[in-house]
Amino acid sequence: MGLGKKRREGKRKEKDHPPPSPSILYSLDALEMTAHPYAHRAATAAVSALHFLDLFESATPTGRSRLLDGSARPGPSSWLHRVPTCDRFSFHHQADHSTALALDLLVCPPQLRGMHCRMCACAGRLAPVPLTGRHFVSCPHGLRLHTAVHDPVRDELTDLCEHVIGSDHVVRECGGGMAAFMLQFPLLRHRPDLVLCDVDGPGTYVIVDVKLLDAAGPTWIRTRHTDRTRRAAHLDLQRQWQRAYFRDFPSGEAPTGVRLCVFSISTFGAFGPDALALLRTLSRRSGRMVPPSLLEEASWATPVFASFARMSLSLSMRRSLAYRLREAGVTESAARDLARQPAPVPEDPDRAFDAPESG
Ligand SMILES: [Zn+2]
């Protein structure tokens, strides 16, 4: 064999089997902390962005709204990746998890297939649940009753706030403290869901109003274009309620030391900007960590306060909604029986997850 041939063969072997390099052997911990998250994020971003665009292009306006809402950062789907170990992070009925998943995927929950809406039947009208199962979004006698879905989310948020800043600084909606607060600001047009004291500084108040919505509701899509603009419904609610709360104050502004936080969450789990800002404030107050009093309920999936709060609040909303939907369906014959003896239930757009027509 000639010298040139030997060299060429040597180079080819080197190419196929490169000699071990004298590089530093990083510890696995360091590798995990430094390289892996970036590589994983870059690869996932490229693959999921392509997948997202494929889906988005082929989706209906309802599907596009759902995709945009679900892609709002921080990702609302993180609650799915957790093994529940405590009540706060569990579904309390075997059917509720599948209902929540079905709603997330825009398909009809199994127990609502072929059923009629109980609330509409009680009000004297027959309303078959469509194949999408999304009658609840715009049902005029709907589910967003204060005792049904809204209140559990409000109570969850109140509980989290108390763990971080202490119950002395949290005024609950139903407590005597709220009556005293309303007397202090008689021009307020609405009763807040909760009030946080001294969060922005001594003597300040943050008024919190919890709002739940479905960004893929037909009126939100038609009037606020939630199929083209991410979080358009959340922002709209913030503007609407800013005006509504302080209309009677001079120049329509909040008085000094008072500000409103519209804590909006969509049924797909996306939080509004105000809500995220409040969670960031609470997170700073707790040093980013889960407060010691909640540590028993924390897990690897909720290592810091922000993820703990987002997960517990979005799950609270999904669990309440799934629970109400489990009771919302009746057979056609039962619906006809109920409709024959209607109770006087007036239509109220505020009970739906969709935007009011006039909004
Ligand atoms: Zn209905």
Which pLDDT tens digit goes with each residue over 141-159?
Answer: 876 666 678 899 999 999 9
Neighbours of 311 (CB within 10 A): 22
Could you tell me the distance, in angstroms and rounded to a whole number, from the CA of residue 246 to the centre of ligand 1?
33
Rounded average pLDDT over 231-235: 95
Distance 326 CA to ligand 1 centre (A): 13
Same domain for 179 and 232, yes or no, is yes
pTM, two decimal places = 0.77
C-alpha–C-alpha distance, residues 109 and 220, integer Å = 22
Residues 167 and 291 in one domain: yes
CA of 337 to the centre of ligand 1 (A): 15
Q: Are residues 133 and 152 in the same domain?
A: no
Same domain flag for 106 and 163: no
User: Minimum mean pLDDT among 34-43, 60-69, 346-355: which range?
Assistant: 34-43
Task: Give the model's pLDDT for residue 54.
Answer: 83
Same domain, 178 and 307: yes
CA–CA dist 329, 322 (Å, integer): 12
pLDDT at position 1 is 45
Give the span between the Cα atoms of 115 and 130, in whole angstroms.
9
Q: Measure 109 CA to ligand 1 centroid, in angstroms.
A: 15
DSSP code per residue over 44-94: HHHHHHHHHHHHHHH--HHHHHHHHHHTSSSPGGGGGG----SGGGS-SSH
Compute and round to an integer the Cα radius of gyration of the chain: 26
CA of 328 to the centre of ligand 1 (A): 8
Higher pLDDT, 291 or 28: 291
Residue 25, pLDDT above cutoff 70: no
- What is the Å distance from ligand 1's center to 137 Cα? 9
* Alpha helices by DSSP H, 166-250: 176-184, 218-224, 232-246
How many whole angstroms from 139 Cα to the centroid of ligand 1? 4
* Judgement on whether residues 91 and 162 belong to the same structural domain of the protein: no
The answer to whether residue 176 sits within a structural domain is: yes
Do 250 and 168 fall into the same domain? Answer: yes
Please state, in angstroms and as integers, the Cα–Cα distance from residue 149 to each residue in 7, 44, 144, 173, 283, following that order. 75, 34, 6, 16, 25
Tell me: do 78 and 166 sit in the same domain: no
Residue 45: pLDDT over 90: no
| Torsion from C-alpha of 174, 100, 70, 140, nearest 10 degrees | -60
Predicted confidence at residue 109, as pLDDT, reads: 92
Q: Which residues contact 161 (CB under 8 A, 6 or more apart)?
A: 169, 170, 194, 196, 282
343 C-alpha vs ligand 1 centroid, how far in Å? 14
Q: What average pLDDT does the segment 319-342 reach?
A: 89
Spacing, Cα 336 to ligand 1 middle (Å): 14
Please choose, from the candidates 138, 131, 79, 86, the residue with its C-alpha nearest in 3D space to the C-alpha of residue 110. 131
Question: What is the domain range of residue 334?
Answer: 72-140+329-351
pLDDT at 134 over 80: yes
More confident residue, 106 or 343: 106
Ligand 1 center to residue 36 CA distance, Å? 49
- Whether the per-residue pLDDT at 81 is higher than 50: the answer is no
Residue 44 lies in a domain: no
Q: How many domains does the chain have?
A: 2
User: What's phi and psi for 166, nearest 5 deg?
Assistant: 90, 145
Q: What is the pLDDT of residue 82?
A: 45
How many A from CA of 327 to the centre of ligand 1?
A: 12
- Predicted local confidence at residue 91, as pLDDT: 86
pLDDT at residue 2 tops 60: no
Mean pLDDT (the chain) is 83
- Hey, which of 49-53, 98-102, 263-267 has the most confident mean pLDDT? 263-267
Q: Is 29 domain-assigned?
A: no
Query: Do the domain assignments include residue 39?
Result: no
Q: Among candidates 343, 218, 231, which has minimal Cα distance to 276?
A: 231
Decide if 222 is inside a domain.
Answer: yes
Residue 3 placed within a domain? no
Domain co-membership, 89 together with 202: no
Residue 305 and residue 271 share a domain:
yes
pLDDT band at 80 (very low <50, low <70, confident <90, very high): very low
Indicate whether 173 and 206 sit together in one domain. yes
Expressed in angstroms and rounded, the spacing between residue 289 Cα and the centre of ligand 1 is 42
β-pair partners for 116: 128, 330
User: 115: burial class by Cβ within 10 Å (0-12, 13-18, 19+)?
Assistant: buried
Distance of CA 128 from the midpoint of ligand 1 (Å): 8
Q: Are residues 126 and 157 in the same domain?
A: no
